[in-house]
Amino acid sequence: MTKSHQYDIIIIGAGPIGMACAIEAQKANLSYLIIEKGALVNSLFNYPVFMTFFSTSQKLEIGDTPFVTINPKPNRNEAVEYYRRVAEKFDLKINLFETVKQVLKQGEDFEVSTTKASYTAKNVVVATGFYDVPLLMNIPGEDLPKVTHYYKDPHLYAFQNVVVVGANNSGVDAALETYRKGANVTMVVRSGEMGPHVKYWVRPDIENRIKEGAITAHFHSELLEIREGEVDIKTPDGVKTIANDFVIAMTGYQPNFSMLKRFGIDLPESLCPIYNQDTMETNVKGLYLAGVVCGGLDTHKLFIENSRVHAEMIIRNIIN
Domain boundary among 249, 275, 305: 249
- What CATH number is associated with residue 80? 3.50.50.60
Residues of the chain with pLDDT under 50: none
What is the total count of domains within the chain? 2
Whole-number pLDDT of residue 271: 87
Burial (0-12, 13-18, 19+ Cβ within 10 Å), 235: middle
Q: Are residues 142 and 230 in the same domain?
A: yes
Three-state secondary structure call for residue 310: helix
Q: Is 41:83 a contact under the CB 8 Å cutoff?
A: yes
Domain residues for the domain of 161 are 136-249
Question: pTM of the predicted model, to two decimals?
Answer: 0.89
Whole-number pLDDT of residue 269: 83
Whole-number pLDDT of residue 1: 56
Three-state secondary structure call for residue 284: coil
Side-chain half-sphere CA neighbours of 170 within 13 A: 20
Q: Are residues 237 and 175 in the same domain?
A: yes
Q: Are residues 47 and 190 in the same domain?
A: no
CA 6, CA 21: separation in Å to the nearest integer? 18
Burial (0-12, 13-18, 19+ Cβ within 10 Å), 26: middle
Whole-number pLDDT of residue 206: 98
CA 135, CA 120: separation in Å to the nearest integer? 33
